[in-house]
Copies of this chain bind each other. A is one copy, B any other.
């Protein structure tokens, strides 16, 4: 009698050609429902195949699909286990833990209160939300602001790390200075000068946990100094706003127009600090104009205020001349933060901060007090990649790759949404489709999700009502999938009445 104790699976009614689909569906359902919680061990494919009377290849294929979906993970010698949870089990966990942030991995801490939708924030440098479950096997995710992670330079990274470990001295494997290893700060000093025009000696660089780590350090200092309020662009990355609100309470939104943040409104706001994304405004993509740059530097110097420059994906420019950072105009008034999360991967949490000299010592002390500084080994590995030129080669190939995806998005937009207003296409990893006033972009995004496409509504990045639109992150998807996503979005938009903004 065929059948498994595991999940009480009964294969009798299943047609031979449908076995893989059936098994994949049964397992996926059990995981998303919570019947198989995180950490549950699945039987080996050999054992389950025997129990069900299936070929081992059938079971292995089902496991492979679920691994691709990020629901399970296997390793030689330790078996296959469930590594993610679905929305239902996450919600149940959430209720039982009294809205604790200890819900399983699929609902990270910081989920916006009151949002019953499956949208979950991955705050901070990611700038975008990640859905808490995968209702379809073939969901296209243009919501998450990730680079093409399939292109992470695994070989180059491992070779560099091997070289580092082969030559590392005991000092290098011990405790690095809290501001970061001298090896990486030395390379970054040159890299930042070459790539962004940033002025920074190695001893003025602080290695942080990504851009968010840098932002958090500065915010804590502002809090200690009572240098409030802090202004943010409106719209701005919701994750950044939430980080700043954690440390500083409320933030002051200042409107952004085609030239970037409106510095006159900033001056009138009474803010003592401001967070800006000058090279490629998030999410609108505009570049802070030369005049606005002069104005914001004057505002900072005249008032003893601080400009925090988030240079998050400035490496990716396609159709325009390079745009220098603001920092070199006024290193005494600008705290510059960037990372390589968009070029390597967020999994490395490698970022840096170049702060005005008068703030530097206190920032280093704070970095020390938080956890003695970032891990040395990834820093040494990155330093190696910078020194050898491998990182710059990788960046060039990523730029080509991302450009192709951007171009595919534009082709699809011309075909499926002709005449729509698109912004931010000259650089970065995302673009914005503007929708007509009054359109409910949250509803459009929900409709899209039902059709298997995850996209960010623009409106949630505004402090107030804002303007409706869709933020399409194209970099993380194969060009054909980007185009398919746009086709679906166009369909959804038209179904709601062709609600595009005049371009």
A binding-site residues for B, Cβ under 8 Å: 38-39, 67-68, 70, 73-78, 81, 83-84, 93, 97, 99-105, 108-110, 122-126, 130, 144, 146, 149-150, 152, 154, 157-158, 161-163, 165-179, 181-183, 186, 189, 202-204, 208-210, 212-213, 216, 243, 246-247, 345-350, 357, 360-361, 364-365, 367-378, 380, 384, 387-389, 476
B102 in contact with A212 (CB, 8 Å): no
A109 in contact with B364 (CB, 8 Å): yes
**Smallest CB separation, A164 vs chain B (Å):** 8
A174 in contact with B346 (CB, 8 Å): yes
**Smallest CB separation, A392 vs chain B (Å):** 13
- Name the B residues within 8 Å of A102 (CB-CB): 179, 203-204, 360-361, 364
Closest 9 interchain pairs by CB? A209-B371, A213-B371, A347-B376, A70-B171, A78-B387, A349-B375, A105-B182, A101-B364, A154-B165
- Name the B residues within 8 Å of A360 (CB-CB): 100-102
A78 in contact with B388 (CB, 8 Å): yes
**Smallest CB separation, A234 vs chain B (Å):** 21
**Smallest CB separation, A426 vs chain B (Å):** 25
Asked whether A203 and B104 contact (CB < 8 A) given A110-B365, A371-B210, the answer is yes
A209 in contact with B372 (CB, 8 Å): yes
Which residue of B123, B154, B349 is within 8 Å of A368 (Cβ)?
B123
**Smallest CB separation, A80 vs chain B (Å):** 11
B161 in contact with A158 (CB, 8 Å): yes
- Name the B residues within 8 Å of A179 (CB-CB): 101-102, 108-109
Which residue of B170, B174, B365, B476 is within 8 Å of A101 (Cβ)?
B365
